[in-house]
Amino acid sequence: MAPNAHRALFISAGWFNILAGLPLLVATAAFAGLLGLQLNPVATMFIQLTACIIVVFGGAYWMIARDPERFRPYVPLGIILKAAVIVIFYGHWLAGSIPWPLPALASGDIVFGVLFWRYYKQTAGKID
């Protein structure tokens, strides 16, 4: 990976998470409707909890961009979370329980998950 390329990767991942999670956190009903999700009080709570986790991970990605050596242990957590999002969202979509907009949004997680893995493997034993 080119010098400082990790910064661009993790800053863009941070923005992706913030832009995906914050609307669901602060305007749950409106954005859940755009994604084709049906709400009840329990669903609203879990959507907001999930959105909060997404936003917090966005902050963690910015921390990695700022200090990749110190925050390197967060990278595998990001990879695991990205893979979990893909498996869960695409599994539900393939089962017909959710409409296409949610897995479409999660497609960015495929890209970031692969790039995180590549970064993690390339920097094993060294940091740029």
Nearest CA to 54 among 74, 78, 73? 78
- Helices then strands, counting H and E runs in the chain, come out as 5, 0
Residue 22: its pLDDT value, please? 96
Residue 1: its pLDDT value, please? 57
Confidence of residue 35 (pLDDT cuts 50, 70, 90): confident
Place of tokens 């863009």: 12
Confidence of residue 36 (pLDDT cuts 50, 70, 90): confident
Mean pLDDT of 44-62: 96
Place of tokens 């595998």: 76
Share of the chain above pLDDT 90, in %: 82
Q: Which residues are CB-contacts of 13 (< 8 A; sequence separation ≥ 6)?
A: 58, 61, 78, 112, 115, 116
Distance separating alpha carbons of residues 40 and 51, to the nearest angstrom? 16
